[in-house]
């Protein structure tokens, strides 16, 4: 069946609009990468666009030598991996019983969880609670308060509800207990939603800087996002890093190129991971959003 003229115009306009939106996301990244590989004269003169001029690696060398980039990167990996594992485990443990019709009072608990999406204590009570629990300057302050996202839990609950009830009952008749049912039946069938929510949680942890600045007092425990945020806000810090290395490197770098190098190091892991999860992304979100 051929598309009508109206449908062809509709598709063409969609392609143009989506291409424009993609370029608005892609071009700033390309520009930042170009700045990080360009020399100081090209950057200060404003000649750098979408392609580096005066190609040099000095910005990355000075970033690694003059800041705690390696430590911050390692902290980011630790925060992201451990936090995402905790998030997924407890999200699954919350969503699975609420998706089962046999679970008594599941409506009450679902509404109680939805209530937290509308109302919360606020920043100051949360800070006081973390302080009373003795978790200041500990990564537990980043993991425990957001252990389960109510929205993500509802999406996963909707996905679990769409699994055939007959399949679940057949597994029970074959002698499966609940734990074996989850690990042998439910989770293998839920890879799209698991990959999707893991990506959501992982990106959230990797990009988190506000909570890090509030709850973490030791700069050696900062993650990459917090370090880059400090570099963006503190121009004097960048100038000190730039002036600390004498010789030819000074003429090849500026605070802007060092800042751009930090941003590239921060966003590169997510750009690498995303293509491997992309095939699950759309399927997981769409299936998990049909009901609920």
Residue 79, number of CB atoms within 10 A of its CB: 23
CATH superfamily of 67-233: MetI-like (1.10.3720.10)
| b (16+ CB within 10 A) / e for 86-116 | bbbeebbebbbebbeeeeeeeeeebeebeee
What pLDDT is attached to residue 292?
42
Rounded Cα gap, residues 177 and 29, in angstroms? 50
What pLDDT is attached to residue 233?
73
Question: Nearest 5°: phi and psi at 47?
Answer: -90, -5
Q: What is the CA radius of gyration of the chain?
A: 24
The whole-model pTM stands at: 0.81
Which residues does the chain have with pLDDT short of 50? 246-250, 288-292
What pLDDT is attached to residue 286?
54
Rounded Cα gap, residues 66 and 240, in angstroms? 9
Per-domain residue ranges for the chain?
Answer: 67-233
Question: Which tokens is 246 given?
Answer: 């004498």
Beta carbons of 159 and 289 less than 8 angstroms apart:
no
Rounded Cα gap, residues 93 and 109, in angstroms? 13
Give per-residue pLDDT as tens, 10-40: 888 999 999 999 899 888 888 888 888 887 7
Rounded Cα gap, residues 92 and 98, in angstroms? 10
What pLDDT is attached to residue 21?
92
């Amino acid at each position: 069946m051929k598309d009508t003229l109206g449908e062809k115009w509709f598709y063409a306009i969609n392609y143009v609009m989506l291409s424009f939106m993609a370029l608005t996301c892609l071009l700033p990244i390309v520009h930042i990468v170009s700045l990080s590989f360009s020399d100081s004269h090209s950057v200060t003169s404003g000649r750098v666009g979408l392609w580096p001029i005066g190609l040099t690696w000095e910005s990355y060398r000075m970033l690694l030598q003059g800041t705690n980039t390696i430590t911050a990167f390692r902290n980011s990996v630790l925060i992201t991996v451990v936090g995402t594992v905790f998030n997924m485990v407890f999200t699954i443990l919350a969503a699975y019983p609420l998706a089962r019709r046999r679970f008594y009072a599941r409506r009450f608990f679902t509404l109680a969880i939805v209530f937290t999406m509308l109302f919360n204590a606020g920043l100051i009570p949360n800070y006081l609670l973390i302080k009373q629990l003795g978790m200041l300057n500990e990564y537990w302050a980043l993991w425990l308060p957001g252990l389960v996202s109510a929205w993500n839990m509802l999406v996963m609950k909707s996905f679990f509800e769409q699994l055939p009830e007959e399949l679940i009952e057949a597994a029970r008749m074959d002698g499966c207990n609940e734990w074996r049912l989850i690990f042998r039946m439910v989770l293998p069938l839920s890879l799209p939603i698991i990959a999707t929510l893991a990506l959501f949680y992982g990106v959230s942890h990797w990009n988190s800087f506000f909570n890090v600045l509030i709850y973490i007092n030791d700069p050696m425990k900062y993650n990459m996002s917090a370090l880059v945020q400090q570099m963006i806000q503190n121009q004097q810090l960048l100038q000190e890093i730039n002036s600390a290395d004498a010789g030819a490197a000074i003429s090849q770098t500026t605070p802007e190129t060092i800042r751009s190098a930090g941003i590239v190091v921060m966003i590169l892991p997510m750009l690498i991971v995303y293509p491997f999860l992309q095939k699950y992304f759309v399927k997981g979100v769409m299936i998990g959003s049909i009901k609920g």
